[in-house]
Structure 1
Amino acid sequence: MRDPVRWPVPVAARRSMLTLHVVSTAAWLGLDVALGVLVFVPMANPALTAACYQVLPLLFWPVLTAGLLALLSGVGIGVMTRWGLVRHWWVAAKLVMNLLLLVLIALLLHPALTDAGEFGRALATGTPTTVEVPRIFMPPVVSTTVLLVATVLSVWKPKGRVSRRR
């Protein structure tokens, strides 16, 4: 099967897109680690629960922005290079993982972080709250794991193309 005709893309544009992709993905991974620290520290030291939980909502927009930048730059790389978007299994898998994480961030993480912040403020002021203690240890574990798997796929680039039946 022949590759589709591609327009020439300057090397500087491809390298810039790759740099943006690596930096945004590294930022996303770092933000997930920070999220994990803020979630797991109160388990070890309950005195820090109020402070950690109040900070959690501040991470939503940076995490979402880093994820969107990783998605957009990844699509740009796929369009600009021979790897394509869904030509190879590892690229298609990374695309699906990125989309899945972004949906989870928007639909599940945002309300959980909002509740955590509210709980943290109530705990700090001693105000009774109707908000349950959020259980948000899974998001940083799942997201960090998925991002590490995506990184391994990017480095090892396992062989295999997506079959196209006509």
Structure 2
Amino acid sequence: MAMPPALRKLALTAHIASSVGWLGSVAAFLVLAVAGLTSQDAQRVRGAYLAMELTGWYVIVPLALASLLTGLVQSLGTPWGLLRHYWVLAKLVLTVVATFLLLLHMQVVDHVAGAAARANLSGGDLSHMRSPLVFDAAAAVAVLLTTTALSVYKPRGLTRHGWRVRNEGRTDRAGGATGSMAVPPARA
């Protein structure tokens, strides 16, 4: 089902805004994680982990869910489809996995922030949990940059479903005659 142009642009704007917001907030989270791990100032460490918890639950998680939802709406309402092109499918898989891992990751953030709220963390306190926060945030930035690149470059390649839809479109035209299929628009 194709969306009218005005609705498609609104959905695209919402998807871009939530996706870019997700990437930016994860980058800020990464800075806080590095500051929390490397700073010698107990108050800065405490503040970093408390800010990470707030940023995670009230900015990153909502933006991740909004990006997933608006991406689904965008793919289902445009000629790109959800399962027709490998790049859309790859973005979907990366976004679903990243969102799932984010929700798991927030449990660790809650634990470290809780410890920071109760007492000042020293350099060695919870280091087995604090170091992965930096790695996980850096990996999330890399994944989100990958999904962004997929959106910009849109590598060619149809899935089996995409080929089936394309071939059905060719045979449905002009009483079964084979013709050229319109290429999806340059922007999704």
Q: Do they fold alike, i.e. is TM over 0.5?
A: yes
1:23 paired to 2:17: yes
Distance 2:85 2:68 in 1: 17
Alignment of 1:11-90 (within 5 A): 11-47=5-41, 48-61=44-57, 62-90=59-87
1:115, distance to aligned residue in structure 2 (A): 1.2
Using the TM superposition, name which of 152-161 and 51-60 deviates more: 51-60
Give the alignment's Cα RMSD to 1 decimal.
Answer: 2.0
1:63, distance to aligned residue in structure 2 (A): 1.0
Distance 1:60 1:44 in 2: 20
The answer to whether the 8 Å contact 1:21/1:74 transfers is: yes
Runs of 4+ aligned residues of structure 1 deviating over 6 Å after TM superposition are: none
Q: Which amino acid aligns with 2:49?
A: Y
Alignment of 1:73-152 (within 5 A): 73-107=70-104, 109-124=105-120, 132-133=126-127, 134-135=129-130, 136-152=133-149
% identity of equivalent residues: 30
Distance 1:9 1:78 in 2: 10
> Which SS does the other structure have where 2:160 is aligned?
coil
Distance 2:54 2:126 in 1: 19
| Structure 1, unaligned runs of 5 or more | 1-5
> Which SS does the other structure have where 1:160 is aligned?
coil
Q: Which amino acid aligns with 2:64?
A: G
The answer to whether the 8 Å contact 1:36/1:141 transfers is: yes
Whichever of the two has the greater Rg, that structure is: 2
Match of 2:158 in 1: 161
Q: Which amino acid aligns with 2:114?
A: E
Q: TM-score, normalised by structure 2?
A: 0.76
| Structure 2, unaligned runs of 5 or more | 165-188
Q: TM-score, normalised by structure 1?
A: 0.86
Distance 1:9 1:31 in 2: 30
